[in-house]
Each structure stands twice: as C-alpha cells, then as structure tokens.
C-alpha cells in the first residue's frame, strides 16, 4: 500500500516536472525569439525583409544597415549624450541620496522626523506632468541638459533603502572615528560608503539603466535635437524614416552610404539595426547587473 502510493506520487511528480520544464522552455522561446528576430532582420537584405522569410537567422547577410547608422552623426551625438546623462545622473543620484540618508541614521538628528515625513509625502502625492513642465519652463530648464539629471536624482524610496542599509553597518567603526575627531563627512565618505559597495553598485546600475532608457523627459523638456539622448534618435528612426528620406539622406553628399548598396537595405532593416544599437549597452551590462538587481529589489522589499 505504502509502496504503491510512493510510485503514484513520483509518477505525478514526473508529469508535473515535464509539464513545468516545457512551460519554462516556452517562456525562454517567447522572450528570446523576438529579440533574435530583430537582430536577424537588422542583418538581412531588403529583399528578404520584404518577403518576410527572416526568422532568427539573417538571410542575405550584410551589415549595410549598421554602416548607414554609424555614418549618421546624429546617432553618435545621441549615444554620447546618453552616456553623459547616465554618468551625470548616476553620480548625482548616489551622492545626494547617500548624503540625505546618512543623517537619518542618527536617532538624535533634529531634522530626522521632519525629513522622513517630508520624503514620505512625495511617495503618495505629486504635481503631475503639466505643473512639473511649467516649473521647468519657469526655471529656464527647457533645453538645459541638467533637466534630465537633477530633478529625478533624489527619490524617497532610494533614500529609505540607503538609510536601512547604513543602519545595518556596525556602528563601532564610525564611533571610534568620531572619538578620533572625525567629522560626519569624513565618516560617511571614508567609512560608511566604502562599506556600502554592494549598495552603490546595485543602485548605480539601476540609475544607469534607468537613464539610458529615459526618453519621455527628453521629449518633454528638450527641443534641441543636438541634446537628444539615443532613445529619442531611435524614436526618430522608428517614426520618421521611410524609403524616400532614406534615399535622400544617402544621396545628400554627407555620404551616409554608397547608393548602389542602398538596394540592400530597407527602412525596416535600418530601424531594427537602430533598435539593436540602442539595446546593445543594456545587453552588455545585463550579465553583471543581474547578479545585483535581485538583491536590490530585496533590500527595498525588506523595508517595505
């Protein structure tokens, strides 16, 4: 009797495992297939793209779409702009968040309660898109690169996560430093932050990815295309590019591409190449990042 039950259970178990494994393989296919399709299209020639027979392997392999993109000065400018925005934003984000969070770990800090309430309110209420836009306008921040960097760089949630993390650092070190006459800045930068590398790496990567993917602030606050981040350039490629202006731009002396090679590329191939170029940095840092972000989400979750 007991014997029979064990066998039955393990058979049910096995069926479950097979179904579950198939389900998981299905998920992998659903996630990976579209990405591979985009990459394959970007390397295929126009004829195959039009005939719609490209799946996950390029057909009529060529790199003309990339050669077109990489000769477009706008793409380079957008790329460099995005790198600049990411660096600026990440530095400001980590610096100002740490500075804000550290005093809140002192129970006798006079501003502690006020600052906590001050921050908590912003988690529930906000001005919304239009009042924020009007504020940026009245501060003359339209078309100022700082508009992408400063306004979003201190968030209540981040400050609270940083505070919790700092609280868990043993206080003996900072107390003995205090005895030796170190001031709070020295303690934060020489003792607390060096012990918070995991936290800084996690939130630094979140900041980089967040800013790299940001396009809506640029749409709202930047009119000058020379200041556009790469996502906005991608948006232009997606919505403005068609066969006619592809040929016009190619013919425009700027020498984007040799007109005879133009037959090999299609607007769609160029668009997908631009998608790949834009997502390339994310794909590159993802393997390092995925080690950290689970931890990052957990740190936040514990605090709630």
Partner 1 sequence: MKQNVAVQGTPKRSLKTRAWRQRYLFLMVLPGFLIVLVFSYFPMYGILIAFENYSVNKGILGSEWVGFKHFMDFFTNPMAFRVVKNTLILGVYNLLWSFPIPIVLAVFFNEIKNQKFKKLVQTVSYFPYFLSTVIVAGMLLSFCSREGLFNQIRALAGLEPILFLQDPGSFRTLFIGSGIWQGAGYGTILYLAAISNIDPSLYDVASIDGASRFQKIRHITLPALRPTITIMLIMAVGGILGSDFQKIMLLYTPQTYPVADVIGTYTYREGIAGARFEYTTAIGLFNSLISFVLLAIANLISRKASDTSLW
Near partner 1 in 47-86, by CB under 8 A = 49-52, 55
Binding mask 3-22 for partner 1 (x = CB under 8 A): --x---x--xx--xx--xx-
Round to whole Å and give the CA distance between 209 and 230: 13
Name which position in 1, 7, 23, 244 contacts partner 1 (CB under 8 A): 23
Q: Are 191 and 98 contacting, i.e. CB atoms less than 8 angstroms apart?
A: no
CB of 277 to partner 1, least distance (A): 10
Q: Is 294 in the site for partner 1 (CB under 8 A)?
A: yes
Q: Which of 206, 203, 202, 194 is nearest to 169 (CA)?
A: 194
Q: Are 52 and 29 contacting, i.e. CB atoms less than 8 angstroms apart?
A: no
CB of 34 to partner 1, least distance (A): 6
- Which of 31/253 has CB closer to partner 1? 31
In this chain, which stretch among 31-39, 64-72, 163-171, 243-251 interacts with partner 1, using CB under 8 A? 31-39
Angle between helices 230-240 and 73-101 (to 10 degrees): 140
- Angle subtended at Cα 247 by Cα 246 and Cα 251, rounded to the nearest 5 degrees: 120
Q: Is 30 in the site for partner 1 (CB under 8 A)?
A: yes
Near partner 1 in 85-144, by CB under 8 A = 96-97, 99-100, 102-103, 106, 108-111, 115, 118-119, 122, 124-135, 138-139
Burial bucket for residue 15 (CB in 10 Å: 0-12, 13-18, 19+): exposed
Q: Is 301 in the site for partner 1 (CB under 8 A)?
A: yes
């Amino acid at each position: 009797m007991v014997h029979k039950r064990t066998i039955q259970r393990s058979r049910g178990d096995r069926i479950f495992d097979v179904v579950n494994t198939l389900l998981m393989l299905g998920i992998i296919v659903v996630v990976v297939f579209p990405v591979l399709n985009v990459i394959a299209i970007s390397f295929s020639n126009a004829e195959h793209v039009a005939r719609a027979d490209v799946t996950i392997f390029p057909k009529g392999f060529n790199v003309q779409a990339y050669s077109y993109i990489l000769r477009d000065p706008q793409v380079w400018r957008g790329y460099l702009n995005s790198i600049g925005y990411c660096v600026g934003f990440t530095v400001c984000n980590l610096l100002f968040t740490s500075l804000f969070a550290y005093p809140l770990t002192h129970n006798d800090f006079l501003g502690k309660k006020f600052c906590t309430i001050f921050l908590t309110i912003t988690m529930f209420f906000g001005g919304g898109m239009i009042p924020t836009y009007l504020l940026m306008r009245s501060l003359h921040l339209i078309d100022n690169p700082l508009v992408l960097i400063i306004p979003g760089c201190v968030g209540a949630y981040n400050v609270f996560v940083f505070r919790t993390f700092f609280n868990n650092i043993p206080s003996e070190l900072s107390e003995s430093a205090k005895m030796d006459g170190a001031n709070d800045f020295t303690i934060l930068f020489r003792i607390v932050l060096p012990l918070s590398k995991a936290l800084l790496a996690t939130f630094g990567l979140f900041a980089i990815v967040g800013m790299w993917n940001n396009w809506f602030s640029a749409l709202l606050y930047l009119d000058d295309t020379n200041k556009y981040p790469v996502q906005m350039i991608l948006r232009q490629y997606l919505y403005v590019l068609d066969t006619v202006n592809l040929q016009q731009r190619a013919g425009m002396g700027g020498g984007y591409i040799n007109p005879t090679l133009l037959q090999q590329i299609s607007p769609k191939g160029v668009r997908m190449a631009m998608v790949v170029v834009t997502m390339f940095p994310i794909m590159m840092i993802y393997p390092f990042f995925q080690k950290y972000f689970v931890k990052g989400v957990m740190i936040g979750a514990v605090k709630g």
